[in-house]
Amino acid sequence: MAASVYAKKSLFLASSTFRFASLRHAAAAAPAGNKGVKKFEIYRWNPEKKGDKPRLQTYEVDLNACGPMVLDALIKIKNEVDPTLTFRRSCREGICGSCAMNIDGRNTLACICKIDSPGQSTKIYPLPHMYVVKDLVPDMTLFYEQYK
């Protein structure tokens, strides 16, 4: 009796291992360039810079070398393309709210907003109805005063 229980367990483990190995090999065999390049149109403005006007600046990001969230793309742009891009971030888990911005017309957190298909560009603005400190950074002074 005990031998048949062990035989069933080992058969289960063997089939589970086989399924996992099949999935792993299928993922490795997937074409590397399947995600493509994504365009991001990002609001840029520095109110302290004389003569600077609000504008959208376009950046291209290779999604094969980037994480799945919009915040990952912003960090990649800042680190590799344009170090002057300014935005807030902190927890990367959707808890703190510091990366709140308007992405494709929706107020959301960049750390939990997945990058959509590469066919169309993603427009990113600071939160509406708030003063802009620089680029995607809103002035939170009035927000915190109302919170008291």
Question: 51 and 67 share a domain?
Answer: yes
* pLDDT (tens digit per residue) in 70-89: 999 999 999 999 999 999 99
Question: 96 and 121 share a domain?
Answer: yes
| Residue 82 counted as domain residue | yes
pLDDT at position 95, please?
A: 94
Distance CA 112, CA 67 (A): 11
Question: 19 and 84 share a domain?
Answer: no
Between 81 and 2, where is the model more confident?
81
Question: 61 and 14 share a domain?
Answer: no
* pLDDT (tens digit per residue) in 30-85: 344 557 999 999 999 999 999 999 999 999 999 999 999 999 999 999 999 999 99
For residue 104, what is the domain's CATH number?
3.10.20.30
| Residue 61 counted as domain residue | yes
- Helix (H), strand (E) at residue 79: helix 70-80
Q: Which amino acid is at 9?
A: K
Number of domains in the chain: 2
pLDDT at 116 over 90: yes
Q: Which amino acid is at 147?
A: Y
Average pLDDT of the chain, as a whole number: 83
Question: 109 and 82 share a domain?
Answer: yes
Pairing between β-strand 137-138 and β-strand 100-103 as defined by DSSP bridges: unpaired
Question: 53 and 4 share a domain?
Answer: no
Q: Which amino acid is at 43?
A: Y
The domain in which residue 19 lies consists of 1-30
Q: Which of 11-15, 27-31, 84-88, 138-142 has the highest mean pLDDT?
A: 84-88
What pTM value is reported for the model? 0.75
pLDDT band at 147 (very low <50, low <70, confident <90, very high): confident
Question: 26 and 50 share a domain?
Answer: no
CB 100 within 8 A of CB 70: no
What's phi and psi for 15, nearest 5 deg? -70, -35
Mean pLDDT to the nearest integer, 98-110 = 98
